[in-house]
Amino acid sequence: MNDDNLKMFVEGTSRYFETVTQKPAIIGAPFLIKDINEYLSDYTGVIGISGDYKGAVFFTAPQRMLRQLLAAIGILESDEDKLMDLVGEVSNTVSGNARRTFGDKFMLSTPIVLKGKSGSVKVSKVEEVYVIPIVWRQHQANLIINLEE
């Protein structure tokens, strides 16, 4: 992943929050990590990537943030199914928007959703894993990028 590709994910995440909630998120600079499990939150949406790139994109967020995000979208019920749906949809939207840069050989799976900090998520060891920190209404979430060309 080069700086331009990471910047594209930063911009995509920023665009999601600004468009959907009209309240911008603060997106931090990407940094490298060793253990993804230290950065997982209450709910995690995972998009598997295949084609020209291989790996996964994760969006992980605390329950309270997701409840507020649902309300900002206009969905007042926030049962567990909707919280899981939401993390999947955010991960799908940010990953799908990346095709603007990567093209249609950047193939996306439908979302897989994890609940809790399982401590057992394993990712490809070939390439680096980057975290892009997101702060929205004082809640901390992360976009985690694990891709190899």
Q: Which residues bind other proteins (CB under 8 A)?
A: 15-16, 19-20, 22, 70, 73-75, 81-82, 85-86, 88-89, 92-100, 102-104, 106, 108, 110
44 vs 92, beta carbon nearer other proteins = 92
DSSP-derived secondary structure letter, 120: -
Measure Cα distances from 107 to 32, 55, 57, 149 in Å: 24, 10, 12, 12
Dmax (CA) for the chain in angstroms is: 42
**86: closest CA among 59, 124, 52?**
59
Minimal distance in Å, beta carbon 78 to other proteins? 10
Minimal distance in Å, beta carbon 120 to other proteins? 25
> 56-77 burial string, b = 16+ CB within 10 Å, else e?
bbbbbbeeebbbbbbeeeeeee
Minimal distance in Å, beta carbon 33 to other proteins? 25
94 vs 129, beta carbon nearer other proteins = 94
67 vs 117, beta carbon nearer other proteins = 67
54 vs 117, beta carbon nearer other proteins = 54
